[in-house]
Structure 1
Amino acid sequence: MKLPLPAQPRHIAVLRLSALGDVCNLVPTVRALQRQWPDARITWIIGKAEHSLLAGLSGVEFVVYDKASGLAGMRRLWSELSATRFDVLLHMQQALRASVLSFGLKAKVRVGYDKSRAKDAQHWFTHRQLEPHPRAHVLESFLDFARLLGVEDLSLEWNLPVPAEAFEEADTLTGDAPYLLMSPCANPRLRNFRNWSAEGYAAVVEHAWVQYGLETVLTGGGSTVEREMGERIVALSRPEAMIDAIGATSLKGLLALIARARVVIAPDSGPVHMGNAMGTPVIGLFATTNPDRAAPYRWRDYVVNRYPDAVRAYLHRELDEINWGQRVRHADAMTLIRIEDVIGKFDALMTRPNECKEEERPDEA
């Protein structure tokens, strides 16, 4: 027998720890819940870095779990929430760690993914599962939780808070000049293989400068891979066309830079979804992951998509022969993206009739 879902939940738990792009894609679901039940409390259990990006999100109480703290951190979180009983827990993280964490939370009903989308036996930890939604985009999969609860208005809204000091941080790097924001590297995880070439990025930098007078701001974390990529791009580019801000910003500062950029160019990584959330035009570079599942949602028409070619070249199969969302884990896959592909999308964005942003200016927290 299925446990009933609350018709009028008073306290909703959202469990999604990571990653930066995914938590950006989840915000419209939170906004939909808030519109449906404006008086309900929403507690979001979130990762440490992800909280630093979304801190100040209106109407949301955050409880932070640092993955590095392991089981000891879980116990502290369980103790912190020991007196809290949620009407519904939305288990939106497909990972065994998150399922174990969920086990120590008190909720009348736990909602998770359907069997076809669940990973690490997540359905064993939930009472109710989503309706099947084959070939769903990540953002749509999150909205499916609101659909199951009976939410009617699923329009997309982010309204991410960016504090004044974050814009001041951005201004110290860019001043008032318009710019292209380029985040060349994805998260440097083992066998990620999402990064394009320094030569390709440098060619786009040159094109943006010569054709549009746009400087390029390079952003990213402080890892060795990201710093070395930035150094190669800088070495291949004219100095007046570049601002190297790799490792030089906070996450809120990066969000401010993205908010004021003319265009964002990046592989499948947090910045493409941050740009999507801020209403900034985005060119996503995809070959190892499926953009139909993970592209910046409102800018899917501007994705450079070499994923089908990578599937054929390195998996030796067609799209309809592989699992939805399967990754192409081959170091050469991103070389299928051509410079003219990226410049073509960039020109299309720069010359489109409506150059205004998709959303109002972000809140200043």
Structure 2
Amino acid sequence: MPLFTTAPKSICLLRLSAIGDVCHAVAMVQAIQKQWPSTKITWIMGKIEAQLLHDLPNINVVVFDKKSGLKGMQAIWKQLKHQQFDALLHMQLALRASALTLGIKAQYKIGFNFKRAKEAQWLFTNKKIPDIASSHVLDSFFEFASFLGIDKTAATWQIPLSEADIEFAQNIIVDNKPLFVISPAASKDERNWLAERYAAVADYAVAQGFQVILCGSPAPRERTLGEQIERLMQTRPSNLIGKTSLKQLTAIIKKSALLLAPDSGPAHIATTQSTPVIGLYGHSNPKRTGPYLSLDNVVSVYEQHVQKQYNKPLEELPWSTRVKGEKIMADISVAQVIEQFDKLTQQKNRL
């Protein structure tokens, strides 16, 4: 039985981070908007994530800076003190996010069930989604919508881009070549692939007539990785690491033929733009966190390592089990990635 049989007046969504997860959540919240266009939606999200999603159509985006601590929470509570929501979707498994819910007024506070909740999230909710079957994070997010009463639909995304963003991306293109974007850095260095292997694949792409673009954040560790790849290449890429906004990056990805990345935000941004992704996975389960529309293109060594480390079949391990180790990604070969590159580019040529 759904929680609502008619459209509620207002819903608050709490999903602060990270880029990939908020991209998953966009599909879910826009499915709610399609079925219940009259429902007013407020979304509390992180500062960085808001750079990409601040102008989502018909959504009141409330920005929470995670570094602001209790003062930041109090500012959110003050901003929302006159609002009583019909439902709060608590979709962040973190104690800080749970603490933030304490000052938000809602008839129903909905979270994950006991089996999937972490950091005692179940103590902060009065309704739990029953889902224990969905493997991908996006599917588990859609279970929140289903619990409310939204019909199940295919995931789609509408992330606004300005004319200036699109023009920026267009000006990057040289000689009308197809773009191959490499976003080499994950959130932790151990989840990155090897610089010399990125360089080898990049040179291969150039030989196939592609323009290679390196992208990423301004973080020093990401800039360093990009510089290493650039030095190791036989050809010169367009190194835009730290030189784009998230909107500009999204516009570039939208115009790209293909993206190569480990488990990171740009891989999921690409999914929102229908750009095929070659995902590189070793530490997390690609069936849970992989690029949703490109799971068949993932190169993964996760399965072999997780079963070896825990000495159990994959189906007997918890939903979010991670592999540990600094050299896991070295088991992904250049040949495996080029195989996926060839498969995807040949598919595009046939269309």
TM-score by length of 1: 0.92
The separation in 2 between residues aligned to 1:4 and 1:249, in whole angstroms, is 42
User: Residues 233-248 of structure 1: matches in 2 within 5 Å?
Assistant: 233-240=229-236, 242-248=237-243
SS in 1 for 2:261: strand
- Aligned partner of 1:231 in structure 2 is 227
Q: Percent identity?
A: 41
SS in 2 for 1:109: strand
TM-aligned CA distance change 1:196 to 1:315, over 3 Å: farther
- Aligned partner of 1:181 in structure 2 is 181
CA drift of 1:354 comes to 7.0
Q: What's the CA shift string for 1:187-207, capped at 9, x where partnerless? A: 24xxx6210001110110111
Quick check: 1:42 aligned with 2:27?
A: no
User: Residues 81-160 of structure 1: matches in 2 within 5 Å?
Assistant: 81-160=80-159
Which sits farther off after the overlay, 249-258 or 224-233? 224-233
SS in 2 for 1:110: strand
- Paired residues of 1:13 and 1:86 also in contact (CA < 8 A): yes
- Aligned partner of 2:193 in structure 1 is 196
SS in 1 for 2:293: helix
SS in 2 for 1:351: helix
- Which residue type is aligned with residue 129 of structure 1? K
The separation in 2 between residues aligned to 1:120 and 1:6, in whole angstroms, is 32
- Paired residues of 2:3 and 2:149 also in contact (CA < 8 A): no
- Paired residues of 1:167 and 1:253 also in contact (CA < 8 A): yes
- Aligned partner of 1:58 in structure 2 is 57
Paired positions, count: 350
TM-aligned CA distance change 1:309 to 1:296, over 3 Å: same
TM-aligned CA distance change 1:288 to 1:239, over 3 Å: same
- Aligned partner of 1:311 in structure 2 is 306
CA drift of 1:136 comes to 2.0
Quick check: 1:347 aligned with 2:346?
A: no
The separation in 2 between residues aligned to 1:353 and 1:82, in whole angstroms, is 51
Quick check: 1:254 aligned with 2:249?
A: yes
- Aligned partner of 1:360 in structure 2 is none
- Aligned partner of 2:213 in structure 1 is 217
Quick check: 1:163 aligned with 2:162?
A: yes
The separation in 2 between residues aligned to 1:339 and 1:3, in whole angstroms, is 48
TM-aligned CA distance change 1:321 to 1:87, over 3 Å: closer
Which sits farther off after the overlay, 161-170 or 285-294? 161-170
Structure 2, unmatched stretches of 5+, are: none
The separation in 2 between residues aligned to 1:19 and 1:219, in whole angstroms, is 17
CA drift of 1:65 comes to 0.3
Q: What's the CA shift string for 1:93-150, capped at 9, x where partnerless? A: 1110010001100111111111111111111111110013235210001000011111
Quick check: 1:337 aligned with 2:336?
A: no
The separation in 1 between residues aligned to 2:172 and 2:2, in whole angstroms, is 53
CA drift of 1:318 comes to 3.4
TM-aligned CA distance change 1:354 to 1:234, over 3 Å: closer
- Paired residues of 1:182 and 1:218 also in contact (CA < 8 A): yes
Q: What's the CA shift string for 1:290-317, capped at 9, x where partnerless? A: 0010111111100111111222454454
Which sits farther off after the overlay, 132-141 or 332-341? 132-141
- Aligned partner of 1:9 in structure 2 is 8
- Paired residues of 1:310 and 1:336 also in contact (CA < 8 A): no
Which sits farther off after the overlay, 52-61 or 273-282? 52-61
Quick check: 1:299 aligned with 2:294?
A: yes
SS in 2 for 1:193: helix
The separation in 1 between residues aligned to 2:251 and 2:131, in whole angstroms, is 37
- Paired residues of 2:4 and 2:149 also in contact (CA < 8 A): no
Which sits farther off after the overlay, 129-138 or 104-113? 129-138
- Paired residues of 1:173 and 1:245 also in contact (CA < 8 A): no
Structure 1, unmatched stretches of 5+, are: 357-365
- Paired residues of 1:12 and 1:43 also in contact (CA < 8 A): yes
The separation in 2 between residues aligned to 1:195 and 1:218, in whole angstroms, is 14
The separation in 2 between residues aligned to 1:170 and 1:123, in whole angstroms, is 44
Quick check: 1:288 aligned with 2:283?
A: yes
Which sits farther off after the overlay, 84-93 or 152-161? 152-161
- Paired residues of 2:214 and 2:226 also in contact (CA < 8 A): yes
- Paired residues of 1:180 and 1:214 also in contact (CA < 8 A): yes
- Paired residues of 2:134 and 2:140 also in contact (CA < 8 A): no
TM-score by length of 2: 0.95
Superposed CA RMSD: 1.8
The separation in 2 between residues aligned to 1:288 and 1:75, in whole angstroms, is 36
